[in-house]
Amino acid sequence: MQRIALRTRLRPGAEETYDKEHAVIPADLEAEMREAGVHTWKIWRDGLDLFHYVEVDDYAALQDRLRGSAANQAWQLQMNRLLDGDFDPAATGLRMVWEMGDPGQGRAPTTKEK
């Protein structure tokens, strides 16, 4: 499974409309996304900045599938009017710089643990 982070930005003044319209996505779009391997898609908003976190089987395959989806095309038209620049379907995500994992993972064992 892939974990993808994306960033988008709202147009000034679109915050309330975005929050209201994005509170629920169309059922047919959600079904297509799940069928395409999406396990989780979360969005946080900080002012105009949107941060997306996606867990998906294959992000490139998801993009290919949604590119031809009527439900996705309608949704993108609805949402893109609120964004400062359209959502780029070719975006590959933000590069991870650092991650804090579960305690004890990724560290050398101590003398007592050897």
* Residue 94 belongs to some domain of the structure: no
Instruction: Report the number of distinct structural domains present in the chain.
Output: 1
* Residue 41 belongs to some domain of the structure: yes
Task: Write out pLDDT tens, residues 76-97.
Answer: 999 999 999 866 766 778 888 8
CATH of the domain at 59: 3.30.70.100
Structural domain including 51 reads 2-86
* Residue 47 belongs to some domain of the structure: yes
DSSP the chain: -EEEEEEEEBPTT-HHHHHHHTSS--HHHHHHHHHTTEEEEEEEEETTEEEEEEEES-HHHHHHHHHT-HHHHHHHHHHHTTBSS---TT---PPP-----STTTTSPPPGGG-
**What local confidence, expressed as pLDDT, does residue 105 receive?**
64
Low-confidence ranges of the chain (pLDDT < 50): 113-114
**What local confidence, expressed as pLDDT, does residue 1 receive?**
94
* Residue 58 belongs to some domain of the structure: yes
**What local confidence, expressed as pLDDT, does residue 102 receive?**
79
Predicted structure pTM score: 0.82
* Residue 105 belongs to some domain of the structure: no
* Residue 107 belongs to some domain of the structure: no
